[in-house]
Amino acid sequence: MRLSLWSHPRSRSTALERYFQNRGDVITHHEVLADYYFIHRRAEPIDHAQLDGDQGQTYEQAAAVLLAEADRPVVHKDFPYHAIDELRADPRWLDGYHAILVREPRETIYSNLKLRGEVTAKNLGYTDLWRWYRHLEAAGCRLLVLDSERLNAEPAAAIGELCQFAGLPFDERHLSWSADMNADWTKWAGWHVDVAQSRGFGRAASVPPDWTVPAELTGVLDEAGEIYARLRERVPTKAVSR
């Protein structure tokens, strides 16, 4: 069984990944496609990362890691914008279970601006997340949309439904963890300080109430807001089933 956690940067996706790492009964992979995008392709620069001497992986090498047969369930977390064209052209992804995690875009933009030198529609990730969702939906794939705010406020309910969707058992004990930097995050450590310092879900968003999105990003916000609204309409209101 493969459960793919698709999202955009700063969506609380690493906290969701941490839950699965904490279980111990699944194999987890952390942003393997980022190796392809940032390191192998050098598609754009990235701050707060330790990449000296790293050659990254080709798309085929990355996909081989994520799609390999395994003796346990596999859960991986990635952003579609890192390889949207390659993903859409690769029919192997039409199998498995797919969860789409989305966060309110004003919060996302604020969080990105603290870490990125430049925020664009591309690296904010909503456009390609929507393209990937529509591709999977059209192919009849097994899909579940999760709202980041509910994940943070009601983690037991949200993750319980996700586990039910993927046919995995759920245990609330895995919703808390020790505060440390997971070894899988080392090269991207600067991006994961918040979750590394956390002991579970429930941390409030840190956006100041009087903060406004910079004028040059209002178009990006508007587009992301439309996608966020479309995806939220697809969040199930009843218990999900496989």
pLDDT tens per residue across span 121-136: 999 999 999 999 999 9
Structural domain contains residue 125: yes
Residue 27: count of CB within 10 angstroms of its CB: 15
Closest CA to 84 of 36, 31, 132, 130: 132
pLDDT tier at 185 (50, 70, 90 boundaries)? low
Structural domain contains residue 242: no
Structural domain contains residue 241: no
* Cα–Cα distance for residue pair 32/5, rounded to 1 Å: 12
Structural domain contains residue 240: no
The answer to whether the Cα torsion of 133, 138, 139, 145 is positive or negative is positive
Structural domain contains residue 19: yes
> pLDDT (tens digit, 9 = 90+) per residue, 1-58?
999 999 999 898 888 998 998 898 999 998 999 989 988 888 887 765 666 556 578 9
pTM of the complete model:
0.89
The structural domain count of the chain equals: 1
Residue range(s) defining the domain that contains residue 145: 2-232
Sequence-distant (≥ 6) Cβ neighbours of residue 65 within 8 angstroms: 29, 32, 57
In order, the DSSP letters of 81-138 are GGSHHHHHT-GGGGSSEEEEEE--HHHHHHHHHTT-S---HHHH-HHHHHHHHHHHHH
- Residue 192: CA count within 13 A, CB half-sphere: 22
pLDDT tier at 177 (50, 70, 90 boundaries)? low
Indicate which CATH number applies to the domain containing 58.
Answer: 3.40.50.300
Structural domain contains residue 133: yes
Instruction: Let me know: does 13 contact 101? Beta carbons within 8 Å.
Output: yes
